[in-house]
Amino acid sequence: MSSSNTKHIFITGGVVSSLGKGITAASLANLLKGRGYNVQMQKLDPYLNVDPGTMSPFQHGEVFVTDDGAETDLDLGHYERFADITCTKNSNYTSGKIYSNVIARERRGGYLGGTVQVVPHITNEIKDAISSCREEGVDIVITEIGGTAGDIESLPYLEAIRQFRKDIGKKNGVFVHLTLLPYLKAAGEMKTKPAQQSANMLRGIGIVPDVLICRCEKPMEPEHFEKLSIFCNVEEEMIIEEQDVAHSVYEVPVELAKQGLDEKILRQLDLPVNKLDIKPWEDLIERVINCESFDEVEVAVVGKYTSLKDAYKSIYEAIDHAGISNKCHVKVRQVEAEDIENKGVEEVLGGVSAILVPGGFGDRGVEGKIEAIRYARENNIPFFGICLGMQCTVIEYSRNVAGLKDANSVEFNAETPFPVIDLMLEQKEVVDMGGTMRLGAYDCTLKEGTLAKKLYSSTQISERHRHRYEFNNKYQDVLEENGLVFSGVYTHGQLCEIVELPNHPYFIACQFHPEFKSRPLTAHPIFHGFIEAAVKKSKTK
Ligand code: GLN
């Protein structure tokens, strides 16, 4: 049901990409939540892929999965982590999705033979996408427009938000423009011209920003505010400085709060400026900043997209959260699984205090991951496997402990004599396979007396999935006889969700992706336990 008094904030970016629009949007959401408002967030991406599900992590970073099973842009991860909100499938639209909706409607005769055009049909579809976040109880929707002002492909979005704001009025919608003040070393000066030009570009489309947030390396001087105010047509007090932060991106909300960003926006939206409650967040920053006395542990992440740090964004964030909750500093050794195959496991993993094998697709590096798991198991090194990491755990145990020679996943070897990871019949009953995956949140029941149960302190959990293959239940008996414990199963069917080893300091692997639900203030229990075990291990070395 849609709510009629929902307010809107639109965030655009100028000058260059990678300005941190997602983090700025998420930080604003954090503050508005801290003022007692119920916030929903949304990213509109101008590219033509229908969703980021099929995009390479090398190009686009990780695919973030929502509870309701949407494969989305990784900015939604920032939204969830900073503002502790739950995004939905309405939180991410791409031009591909918008256009395919419009074209499908045209094919069904939905436009009664009229000429279908970018304006008004695509722009109306975008406006509907924005409205889709106006759910009951949502006070404020923050919509981030991907891309940079001036991009050809962003134009329909800018036109749509211009119209949207015109429809709802200035008291119900705010335009925030994030821009860059580059520092020219040779001139020893920070320049406002590019920011003026990006605001100019927006003005050409009919958007005058209400708030200008300036990303900069150095502090802004009064003359910068004056110039920007005059040339961008923005009130001086509505110009906010967003300097690079020293320690952690989680400092951004606190820095923005110091300049009253949230308060200024609430005033424009005619909403009460309730007291800001971000004490736990400030304490968190305190801990991040004053971490010199913390122990340092080194943890290996054995993957195949390690050259791009965004490819495992949520995993690194979850590790960070667990570092904070364990009061330790975690150094991550990013390991290419193939290096293990080529150089040997000891050479590549020697000396680490814990090993994590994340999710992935395709067979490149799989044997290296399996080797890393054997190494962790045999040497009592804390181990945590996620999704493909769990599938590799089962393969390793089947081959090296249960004697199922050449056991494999049918994803990597369709002819394997022991398909311990396969497409499951039961799975076909609970999800529509149709070439797709098990996506989104599923309930899981944990077995009493297991590590999983101890970590979660609950027998009922819900975690997010994104995979096609499953553990093949035919092999449960033989693996159990050989000591592998199946500690979590899908609550409404026979799907294995967690395996673990009891006689090991920490050895657990899950079919789901726990990293998506970790928060800075509440580290995920499996990550917390993992880093705790790593600290113990580092002390016994
Ligand atoms: N490739 C595996 C599957 O599809 C694992 C996927 C993943 O790790 N997300 O089941």
**pLDDT tens-digit series, residues 326-371:** 999 999 999 999 999 999 999 999 999 999 999 998 889 999 999 9
Q: Are 9 and 176 in contact (CB under 8 A)?
A: yes
3 state SS of 413: coil
Ligand 1 pocket mutation pick from 364, 431, 469, 510 by most atoms within 8 angstroms of CB? 469
User: CA 14, CA 194: separation in Å to the nearest integer?
Assistant: 8
Atom of ligand 1 nearest to the CA of 358: 8
H or E element in which residue 389 lies: helix 388-400
Residues near 4 by beta carbon (within 8 Å), at least 6 away in sequence: none
Q: Which of 363, 466, 510 to mutate to test the pocket of ligand 1 (most atoms within 8 A of CB)?
A: 466
> Of the listed 513, 524, 528, 532, which one is catalytic?
513
Give which of 318, 413, 315 is closest to 370, Cα–Cα: 413
Packing angle between helix 313-325 and helix 279-289, nearest 10 degrees? 90
* In 413-485, alpha helices (H): 425-430, 451-456, 476-481
User: Which atom of ligand 1 is nearest to 470's Cα?
Assistant: 10
Question: How many C-beta neighbours within 10 Å does residue 106 have?
Answer: 15
For residue 512, report the distance from its CA to the centre of ligand 1, in Å. Answer: 9
Give the torsion sign (CA, 466, 467, 468, 474).
negative
Per-residue pLDDT reduced to its tens digit, 245-289: 888 899 999 999 999 999 999 999 999 999 999 999 999 988 888
Closest ligand 1 atom number to CA of residue 359: 8
What's the pTM? 0.93
Contact 249, 24 (CB under 8 A): no
Distance from residue 404's CA to the centre of ligand 1 (Å): 22
Is pLDDT of 397 > 80? yes
pLDDT in tens, 136-184: 899 999 999 999 998 999 999 999 999 999 999 999 999 999 999 999 9
Residue 317 pLDDT? 95
To 5 degrees, how large is the angle CA 520–CA 521–CA 525?
85
Q: Ligand 1, atom 1: nearest CA belongs to which residue?
A: 361
Domains of the chain: 3-284 (3.40.50.300), 294-539 (3.40.50.880)
- 121 DSSP 8-state letter: I
Distance CA 37, CA 5 (A): 13
Ligand 1 site: residues with CB under 6 angstroms?
A: 359-361, 387-388, 391, 411, 466-469
Residues β-bridged to residue 372: none
Structure tokens at 343: 């150089």
